Structure 1
């Protein structure tokens, strides 16, 4: 969503528009189940890859080459995935790719939530999904883009950062929020 630059006359209007856009995005994401693998589920997490290396003494498993991780309908695909385990079981997943991709359908027959970034990290103890470098989250035609996106899966809070003035693109966080009911626009 591209908003005009603030001026003394329109600063309050711009703040309101940005707050409404952020609220719409949060409502969109909040209508979906938490974006993460459920490590407390009885459903298994399945992994397939070209190569695997288990370092049991460190609690690290590294998968490389077209890695696909699934749990029910949740899917993570990347070039490389590292799983970290401790005495409580699996606690962190780090995925890298060009890009790494994450997908989870909603439980209420809504649009699936898809995300991609160069690096995706899931930290179970922190209830955090972190998307780094060219991060994009889409749900239907809604879009959220930033250089770094944190998603608190427990509290359903999204925080995003742009890349500043360096790098490619605008360096800003971008959102596209579609109207809830497009069939009533012409009425």
Structure 2
């Protein structure tokens, strides 16, 4: 059984501070391209725009930020719905990040080798030799993470010859969500 969605979801819920208002890993990933209130800022060493494929490729120490969410990677391809006409904002349809992907939001981080965000289907997939999710001292490790950004359902898969691993530090969730604004 490779898909351990119930176990992974339980682990992710255990990692989230507070109750209903808590930000989960899926909330952290949901920011890119789906948040109309915050601009997306992208910095890179190089940019190539391909009008025929409605895409732009950023490469070389790429840094993406939107609100409190940050992503670092070596290469990012952005697919949009229409031509990039001077100054006209296009809707982002899909993001594909390659080359040691690092995503952070508040005290949550995720790392993997590749990540894709399908804005139409509202699905994020992160893959790699090791996909590592952490919140504070707590860690979840697998090799493929799929998150439905709309429902928050997460599915973390183990490698064929391995297992999903979860490390929750004793008392690490005590006192969170009270008085600190988390």
Shared topology, TM-score over 0.5? yes
Instruction: With a CA cutoff of 8 Å and minimum separation of 6, indicate the structure with the bigger relative contact order.
Output: 2
Count of matched residue positions in the alignment of Structure 1 and Structure 2: 152
Q: Secondary structure of the equivalent of 1:57?
A: helix
Distance 2:70 2:8 in 1: 28
Larger radius of gyration: 1
Which of 33, 39, 42 lines up with 1:44 in the alignment?
Answer: 39
Match of 2:150 in 1: 154
Matches within 5 A, 1:111-130: 112-130=107-125
RMSD: 2.2
Which of 85, 92, 114 lines up with 2:94 in the alignment?
Answer: 92
Distance 2:120 2:14 in 1: 24
State the 1:21 CA deviation: 7.7
CA displacement 1:94-141 (0-9 Å, x = unmatched): 1111x2100112xxxxxx210010001111112222110121111111
For structure 1, list consecutive stretches of 5 or more residues without a partner in the other structure.
Answer: 1-18, 106-111, 166-170, 183-187
Query: What's the TM-score, normalizing by structure 2?
Result: 0.75
Q: Secondary structure of the equivalent of 1:154?
A: coil
Pair 66,23 (structure 1): closer, same or farther in 2 beyond 3 Å: same
State the 1:25 CA deviation: 2.4
1:67 aligns with 2:62: yes
Query: What's the TM-score, normalizing by structure 1?
Result: 0.73
State the 1:45 CA deviation: 0.5
